[in-house]
Amino acid sequence: MRQLQQRWPIAVLLFFGHLPFLMLLWVALAALLTVITAVLALFVDISVSVWDHSAALLRWMALFYGTYLTRELLTTCVMHGRTRRAFTAQATLFVLVASGVLAVLMALGYALEHLIYNLMGWSHTFIDDRLFDSLNIPLIIYSWWGLYAVWTITGAFIGAALRRNDVSPVLAIVLGIVLLSVLGPITGMGDLPFTDRIYDPQTTSVGSAIGLSLLAFAVGAAFTWLLVRNIPIRPRIR
């Protein structure tokens, strides 16, 4: 542990400080959605997955967390004698791994929901176009993994632009939207309202979807590094 902390202090901070918090958020969300579903069931016939539909909310949280990384945590790391390079490397690794962990938890949510729906005799269908149309766990994990990773790294990119005063935040946000709207929907996840029907996930092969979301993540990470590598660390409050 001590050695790990000396080699990868930022990763240690993220994995031991942030990941449990993000997982707690998942627990809170699961509890909330269960209550919502139960209340809804009193009044209407449940026919679609509530869990799946909550994606709309979660991707924005991922984006917000991404901006937090470069707006706040980067400053703290540099302040405590760490380089921007070390931050970017370890934070990128964290985003990839943590997205995976949360995706697994999401899949667990689908499975639990599927079980409950079966018991209640409700049909477990998804409103939005997904790569998966039934309880296909590997595809669910992959889809959510891609969503969390790409949206968080895009958030990090926008956050870095906001933190600099020589880069237009509007331009960065537009670039971020382009990144999300061109590459996000291919996975069937995180489509923005106006890009809803550009791609039909049903016709996209799983292989190319995985390839494209990896590419999206790589582009997001590269953009972020471009802004972070010489970012001036100015006081946050005056």
Partner 1 sequence: MTSRIDLEELRLRYEDTTAVDRVTCHLEGGKIYGLLGRNGSGKTSLLSMLAGFIRPTSGSVLVDGQPVFENPRAVSRICLIRDSGDVGDQSDTVRTVMEIAQVLRSTWDQEYAERLLEKFKIPMRKRVSQLSRGQRSALGITIGLASRTPLTIFDESHLGMDAPSRALFQEELLNDFMANPRTIIVSTHLIEEMSTLFEEVLILHEGRLLLHEDTDTLRSRGAAVTGPADQVDQFVFGMNVLAERRLGRIKSVTVYGELSDLHRRQAENLGLEMEPIALQDLFIHLTGAVEESR
237 binds partner 1 (CB under 8 A): yes
Kindly give the residue spans of alpha helices, DSSP state H, lying in the chain. 2-7, 9-13, 19-43, 50-53, 55-68, 74-79, 84-120, 137-163, 169-183, 206-228
Tell me which residues in 54-113 interact with partner 1 (CB under 8 A).
72, 75-86
Shortest reach from residue 150's CB to partner 1, in Å? 25
Residue 29 or residue 77: which is nearer to partner 1 going by CB?
Answer: 77
Tell me which residues in 159-198 interact with partner 1 (CB under 8 A).
none
Quote the CA–CA distance of 88 and 86 in Å, as a whole number. 6
208 binds partner 1 (CB under 8 A): no
Shortest reach from residue 74's CB to partner 1, in Å? 11
Number of residues that bind partner 1 (CB under 8 A): 29
Shortest reach from residue 96's CB to partner 1, in Å? 21
Q: Given candidates 12, 19, 61, 173, which one binds partner 1 under the rule CB under 8 A? A: 12
Residue 115 or residue 233: which is nearer to partner 1 going by CB?
Answer: 233
Q: 58 is written with which tokens?
A: 């979660």
Contact positions vs partner 1 (CB under 8 A): 5-6, 9-10, 12-13, 17, 72, 75-86, 229-230, 232-238
